[in-house]
Amino acid sequence: PAPTESHTRAQYCRWPCECPRSPPRCAAGVSLVTDGCDCCKTCARQRGESCTEADTCDFHRGLYCDYSGDRPRYEIGVCAQIVGVGCVLNGVRYKNGETFQPNCKYNCTCINGAVGCVPMCTNSRPPLVWCPNPKLIKMAGKCCEQWVCDDSRKIRKTSPRHISSAAYEGEDEAWQKNCIVHTSPWSPCSKTCGLGISTRISNHNDQCRLLKESRLCNMRPCEVDITQHIKPGKKCLAVYRANEPMNYTISGCVSKSPYRPKYCGVCTDNRCCTPYKSKTIEVSFQCPDGTEFSWKIMWINACFCNLNCRNPNDIFADLAHYYDYSEIAN
């Protein structure tokens, strides 16, 4: 009688399993998988390499064992690429494995006929607790919606004392000579103590041009140990103010008038104190050579101690629900 396949096809699996004590170390990019006998860990065969029932192809790379060239035994095959099905989305055709962005909010990949997307807008948290009625809105020039406080026309006496109509100035787009005025929030102060700088972008000018504005900021003095001023039994001092007025000094130039500014305090636990209400004042300086100039300076009115601490130089921090609303007045 003619030989059957079972007589001519070699058997590559042996039971019971006999495996080495430690699994092999695979080359970079090669998967460590369980062999086809379901026994031992082995390095998966790559595209173009031979494969058997024991030596499996790297399925993580979309490979399978093609036995078609080994008829009639179907004993030794070659690892080949699975040809996946492409995708069609909104009338556009994408290849299998192709990554694309249908819009600025999503990054998508075509996987064998199905489209899988990852959202690019990950800010899903509303602003801090002092915002009574948060609302997601589309902001000019930004892809992702931003959280705002939607109480501009509903300010009541029962609202927290730091929520006022001044908080919402510039939130709605204003028309000015065919120019949609937009002003971004001030960035966090570049220094946690001592004189730093804060910036914002605004087109609130005659040319309607987006310009970078700067102001000086001083969150707290570096030379004062504010923890000594925390009341007994308390862990935080939200606002610190020196007893005596002082003059601002920049590069030897002294402010014409003395000031007694408020600073944000400190906590002895994990909380940090940041400004939630501030304004910008103009300060005139006089230099030893007789020249004069003026600078915008952040004037802190009130601070808020909370657990949502951020390093101002951490560009990866999720700033949206702290940075945009840490100050609620310009």
Position 26 in a domain: no
pLDDT digits (tens, 9 = 90+) for 67-77: 888 877 788 89
CB atoms within 10 A of CB 296: 15
Confirm if 133 and 155 have CB atoms less than 8 A apart.
Answer: no
Q: Residue 89 corresponds to which tokens in the numbers above? A: 């989305």
Please, which contacts does 154-158 make with residues 24 or more away whose CB atoms are closer than 8 Å?
none
Q: Both 110 and 143 in a single domain?
A: no
pLDDT for res 110: 82
In a domain, 146, yes or no: yes
Domain residues for 105? 87-119
Per the domain annotation, does 105 fall within a domain?
A: yes
User: 32, 41 in Cβ contact below 8 A?
Assistant: yes
Q: Which residue has the higher pLDDT, 177 or 50?
A: 50
- Give the percent of the chain with pLDDT over 70: 78
**Contact predicate 266/237, CB 8 Å:** yes
pLDDT value for 50: 93
What local confidence, expressed as pLDDT, does residue 25 receive? 92
Any domain includes 19:
no
pTM, 2 dp = 0.44
Band of pLDDT at residue 192, cut at 50, 70 and 90: confident
Q: Are residues 234 and 289 in the same domain?
A: yes
| Cβ contact 31:48 at 8 Å | no
Q: Is the pLDDT of residue 263 over 90?
A: yes
Q: What is the pLDDT of residue 315?
A: 39
Asked whether residue 45 falls in the same domain as residue 136, the answer is no
Total number of domains constituting the chain = 4
Same domain, 138 and 112: no
- Same domain for 221 and 302, yes or no, is yes
Do 208 and 134 share a structural domain? no
77 and 95: one domain? no
The pLDDT tens digits of the residues spanning 24-39 come to 999 988 899 999 998 9
Nearest-angstrom CA–CA distance, 325 and 150: 13
Lowest mean pLDDT among 49-63, 75-89, 144-158: 144-158
User: Residue 115 is part of a domain; what is its CATH number?
Assistant: 2.10.70
Same domain as 294, residue 211 = yes
Confidence of residue 311 (pLDDT cuts 50, 70, 90): low
Give residue 128's pLDDT. 55
User: Region 21-25: what's the mean pLDDT?
Assistant: 90
How far apart are alpha carbons 59 and 152 in whole angstroms?
A: 57
- Whether 330 has a pLDDT exceeding 50, the answer reads no
Mean pLDDT of the chain: 77
pLDDT tens digits along 96-127? 778 888 888 888 888 777 777 777 776 656 65
My answer on whether 61 and 148 are in the same domain is no
Tokens of 202: 């605004």
Q: What is the CATH number of the domain that holds 270?
A: 2.10.90
**Is the same domain home to 261 and 295?**
yes
**Measuring CA to CA, which residue among 283, 274, 228 is closest to residue 250?**
283
In angstroms, rounded to a whole number, what is the distance separating the alpha carbons of residues 133 and 145? 16
- Evaluate if residue 214 carries a pLDDT over 70: yes
Instruction: Identify whether 8 is part of a domain.
Output: no
**Tokens representing 302?**
């009130």
In a domain, 175, yes or no: no
Q: Are 57 and 33 in contact (CB under 8 A)?
A: no
Q: Rounded mean pLDDT of 174-180?
A: 56
Per-residue pLDDT at 323 exceeds 60: no
